[in-house]
Amino acid sequence: MSASKPRVEVLHGVNLNMLGGRDPLHYGTLTLRELEEQIAAWAAELGMAVGFFQTNMEGEYVERLQTLAGGGADAAILNPGSWTHYAYAIHDALELTGIPAVEVHLSDVQSREPWRRISVIGDLCVASISGRGPDGYRLALERLREELGGESGGEESGLV
Ligand code: DQA
């Protein structure tokens, strides 16, 4: 890992601003702000710098990814919400970034409606994590740290 902290951008998509008011069985009870505070604390522990972005506009999400293509971050964590399942423009924008990315879903998308089992970004991601609640973001940070040449998350990460 380089001397400066690796910078990870966390991109929350559509309806993620409503966390805390969505079905707690799927999404838990944390608000988006509380979730971001937790992610920032984990990033600090791991020696990583983290930035956050949320929008309900698909075009804005694409434009944010385009800024990352210009060196805006070393890695990205994406939870595009329901765009995950059909938004090919987000796939193409993520491909443009050329940086390692992890897909995270709070809920277990594999055990819900069949349409949620499809991810149009999964093929571009070094890992896809779902059903782990907020911990999924910690696992994603650990995986990206490993990917960027830092210490391995190893067994602690629970990732294979
Ligand atoms: C989600 C899962 C999506 O299917 C859903 O549309 C969301 C959130 C998750 O974090 O579990 O909005 O990405």
Q: How far is the CA of 113 from the centre of ligand 1 (A)?
A: 11
Tell me what pLDDT residue 70 has.
Answer: 86
CA torsion sign, 142 to 146 to 149 to 151?
A: positive
pTM for this entry: 0.92
Nearest CA owner, ligand 1 atom 7:
81
Q: What confidence score (pLDDT) does residue 87 get? A: 98
| Contact in structure between 62 and 90 (CB atoms under 8 Å) | yes
Pocket test for ligand 1, best of 26, 58, 111, 121 (most atoms within 8 A of CB): 26
Instruction: Report the C-alpha gap between 149 and 116 in whole angstroms.
Output: 32
Tell me how far apart the alpha carbons of residues 123 and 91 are, in angstroms, rounded to a whole number.
9
DSSP reduced 3-state for 79: strand
> Separation of 59 CA from ligand 1 center, angstroms?
18
pLDDT, residue 3, reads 62
Residues of the chain short of pLDDT 50, as ranges, are 1-2, 153-160
